[in-house]
Structure 1
């Protein structure tokens, strides 16, 4: 009798199983934290950010390089403080995802202690104009999504997460108050245009680096950053009003304040490079509300003009290369 050995599972199957287990763990954590008080989550963010600062060289390094660019006048000690503050706010955002996506809507609404600049949206709609909300990675942008979709017809682009098992949870969390999520492709752009022509609100992430061919270089804190050029296309075809929107975390876990800021007038320019400069100026104005709450862990200056124009054999020293 021949003994048959069961074949070992393929690496692909093992990877999928591992991903499912990770997704289940993340889902469990979100649900566990969804009912916790914001003060508790802020305290936990303080603990986890210390660990992150100690063991995560990537986040620490990228954050430090970014604040060096944005605040070159800082002393070494102030720079370290900025890095620690940023990591704590980023940790808080991650811990608050369950609160924003799964928590009781009345509890989330109650956590929003003030809304500044709402008249910018109301006035635009009164004029039968759509509103494009530039929502940078500042504070808790999921709370901003919650408020916008609770008070206005709201459409935003959405790209499923790499951990696809989390997609139903994230999608439900963002859509549960009425938001419409559309894909990050031409079909999604067409949906944004239709929403704006109906005098509704749409959301755009202004500080995500686009692929080559979909952006223009414009200064961001004095250094050229490759910036998406979708905005002038939407404005040109809809005459929409543009505002910047953020959910700023109130100190010590006491809730959030929503801020809507009038956009830099350059965002309405038909020249894509000028419009991109206006977009970056809008993000800078939002960051000025509380620089620690901006997500400095993102490689905002990864692409460079030199890389775009490089010739064969060209080698560049990148901003984020470790020395």
Structure 2
């Protein structure tokens, strides 16, 4: 017998999936206008997102004035809202419509050169712009494998998986079996995607500088590079508001190739910083990037700056 919680979960999932299907047929200009209307409401009424964004921006941009950081926080939450509204477009709109929305591709030669040499490519894809559009482009042009963690609402798993796999991407679990699949793909000279800005579980990372402050960072990358000699690039889909997207592939910071895991992780974070520099408002600042450092700061005066985390 279904519990009230399971019935509520199914209702939420169906409502979200229906909304995505409705929005999939709308123009990007319409979705951006909706985001401009909803973004300020998210900033005003979503306390967690507003406060975490404010804390992160204060940590990474201490030299910017408070008024400038507030403006950037509002813009960031508007872009995050746009990403959510665009999921139906990225996953369900006709492929030719999504492809036509990609107005620029910069740095593709980084991928082509690596593949011409028979080397695999690790694409570091931070939470910037619309990463689902980046997944669409990569899986449309290259054999592409990415790790996948099912959504919290289990009933959305099929919708999410179908959307991400529809252009040929291969999704693998976030466990040792998935890591083995990534290694095999790289050894075949294919491309894989890694989210470089999520905090891993304890024991799977090191503290490395991110905008000058220690952030717990995954060490999966140096392990993959050491065993495959893959090329590393950063990839993002930058939003061109109301018009489409510009894909950017950036050469990785050379430190990512270090066998020292802390040095490599510092290089990974430098790659994320370089992507953010394209347009800081398009980064998802509401993610608690410094969460694990709080435990190291307990009892230290700086701990107060993270009190709302």
Same fold (TM over 0.5): yes
Q: Secondary structure at the match of 2:306?
A: coil
Match in the other structure for 1:113:
103
Matched, 1:294 2:280: no
Could you say which residue in structure 2 is the equivalent of 1:284? 273
Corresponding residue number in structure 2 for 1:167: 157
CA offsets, 1:196-243, max 9 Å, x none?
000000000000000100001111011100000000000000000000
Distance 1:315 1:88 in 2: 33
Query: Which residue of the partner structure matches residue 20 of structure 1?
Result: 10
Report if aligned partners of 1:135, 1:245 keep a CA contact under 8 Å in 2.
Answer: yes
Residue-by-residue CA offset, 1:158-197 (whole Å, 9 max, x unaligned): 0001100000000000000000000000000000000000
- Cα deviation digits, residues 252-273 of structure 1 (max 9, x gap): 3110000000000000001100
Unaligned runs of 5+ in 1: 1-8
Aligned twin of 1:6: none
Per the alignment, residue 3 of structure 1 pairs with: none
Does residue 183 of the first structure (1) align with residue 160 of the second (2)? no
Task: Pick one of 223, 231, 239 that aligns with 1:249.
Answer: 239
Going from structure 1 to structure 2, the CA distance change for 1:53 and 1:308 (only over 3 Å counts) comes to closer
Residues 37-91 of structure 1: per-residue CA shift (max 9 Å, x gap): 1111011001111111111111110001111111111112101101100000000
Name 1:322's counterpart in structure 2. 308
Q: Provide, for residues 75-120 of structure 1, a one-character-per-residue CA deviation record: whole Å limited to 9, x for no partner.
A: 1210110110000000000000000010110000000001000000
Q: Given that residues 142 and 191 in structure 2 are in contact (C-alpha distance below 8 angstroms), is that contact kept between their aligned partners in structure 1?
A: yes
Q: Partners of 1:247 and 1:322 in 2: how far apart?
A: 31
2:64 is paired with a residue whose SS is: coil
Distance 1:239 1:184 in 2: 22
Secondary structure of the structure 1 residue equivalent to 2:9: helix
Q: What secondary structure, in the 3-state scheme, does the structure 1 residue paired with 2:3 have?
A: helix
CA contact 1:208–1:227 (8 Å) conserved in 2: yes
Q: Are the aligned partners of 1:89 and 1:139 in contact in 2 as well (CA < 8 Å)?
A: yes
Contact 1:307 1:316 in 2 (8 A): no
Describe the shift of the 1:318–1:243 C-alpha distance in structure 2 as closer, same or farther (beyond 3 A). farther
Alignment of 1:117-266 (within 5 A): 117-250=107-240, 252-266=241-255
Name the TM-score, length of structure 1 as normaliser. Answer: 0.93
1:49 corresponds to 2:35: no
**Structure 1 residue 315 displacement after superposition:** 11
Taking a change above 3 Å as real, the CA distance of residues 19 and 117 of structure 1, as seen in their structure-2 partners, is same
Question: RMSD of the alignment, in Å?
Answer: 1.8
Over 3 Å counting, the alpha-carbon distance change for 1:299 and 1:309 in structure 2 is: closer
In 1, distance between residues paired with 2:3 and 2:304? 36
Report the equivalent of 2:295.
307
User: 1:76 maps to what in 2?
Assistant: 66
Partner SS state of residue 123, structure 2: strand
Give distance in 2, aligned partners of 1:27 and 1:75: 40
* Stretches of structure 2 lacking an aligned partner (at least 5 in a row): none
**Aligned pair partner of 1:66 in 43, 56, 68:** 56
Aligned to 2:29: 39
Give runs of ≥4 in structure 1 deviating > 6 Å: 313-316
Check the 8 A contact 1:139/1:247 in 2, yes or no: yes
Q: In structure 2, what is the Cα distance between the partners aligned to 1:120 and 1:259?
A: 11
- Contact map agreement 2:297 2:303 (CA 8 A) in 1: no
2:109 and 2:127 map into 1 onto residues whose CA distance is: 23
Tell me if the contact between 1:219 and 1:225 (Cα under 8 Å) persists in the aligned partners.
yes
Aligned to 1:93: 83
Per-residue deviation, 1:319: 4.4
Superposed displacement of residue 317, structure 1:
3.1
